[in-house]
Structure 1
């Protein structure tokens, strides 16, 4: 009877040990598979070359004028569509386009120190931008282009910083950006943008 009990205990212990070993092996395989999946996602994300961003923003103009002609700080709505192509691990080139969806009056500063009042109707800006990624979530941009509107067009420079966070789908990114624009012989603005980017 003692031998049967001892044999029963040995078989039970062996069965339990085998079951635990099998569970550990399955868990290890799941971890390996999970890690491989994450690595695949990271690799897939790393291979994205193109991105299109849709941004909503507020453009701030310190040289604005009200209807009475008094100087006024203006905050007007805008939206942007930005395309970027990544040509290196940290570098990109893109075409950034935005429109201010409101007409406004601004004080124009000429190169000779003169000033004049200028009315802008729904100006559209288009710029070629070079981007550099400083960290995983932070990038800087600089470039040049032009602002187009009824009456007169202006050559311009832009400098910006953008922060981005990937969503559950690694091809989508949430973006927050701030830009400073210098319109030659005209006026300066800065704008704050929020939006999403699709990478492919």
Structure 2
């Protein structure tokens, strides 16, 4: 576990370093544009698909989940975000060699670099951790969302992301979020 925390901290610092290394280019990009409000808070609801065998067999395991995210946009194209999700079930996953991983309402926290590809279509990637009472896992998240502005700095956005847990199971999540810019 200590090695996972150290790797997570290293990943966060490397991500911040790489992001701030591109900051002068980002500043020049914004010079002629009206700047949007930089802080965005989002609440989302979704479903997490577990593509592994569960304790009850090969049934499809779909877990309800809630998300609460905070993002800081340095420009129209680049941001960093702290994305947090709570999976709302107790479940067990059967891994290789019939090892059972028990999960009880796990919380996922990722620190993501966000890039607006084209008119509200964003992709993000970052390291994080799945925190749970039995065992914690290092997580790498990659995701995509499409932001639709609905007025007064509010937006709706469908979201899809893939979480890869180190030495454990992977999940795919679909959801719908509501965001507010400040």
> TM class by shorter-chain length?
0.7 to 0.9
Match of 1:144 in 2: 127
Q: Which runs of 5+ in 1 are unaligned?
A: 1-41
**What is the TM-score normalised by the length of structure 2?**
0.78
Query: Which structure shows the higher helix fraction?
Result: 1
**Which among 121, 126, 134 is matched to residue 104 of structure 2?**
121
CA shift at 1:57, angstroms?
A: 0.3
- Which segments of 5 or more consecutive residues in structure 2 lack a partner in the other structure? 1-32
Structure with larger Rg: 1
Matches for 1:31-180 after TM superposition, within 5 Å: 43=34, 46-67=35-56, 70-109=57-96, 114-169=97-152, 171-180=153-162
* Distance in 1 (alpha carbons) for counterparts of 2:99 and 2:156: 40
Give the number of equivalent residue pairs: 150
* TM-score (normalizing by structure 1): 0.71
Please list every run of at least 4 consecutive aligned residues from structure 1 whose deviation after the TM superposition is greater than 6 angstroms: none
Offset, 1:168: 2.7
Structure with bigger RCO (C-alpha 8 Å, 6+ apart): 2
Cα deviation code 1:106-149 (max 9, x no counterpart): 1235xxxx451111000000010000001112000000110011
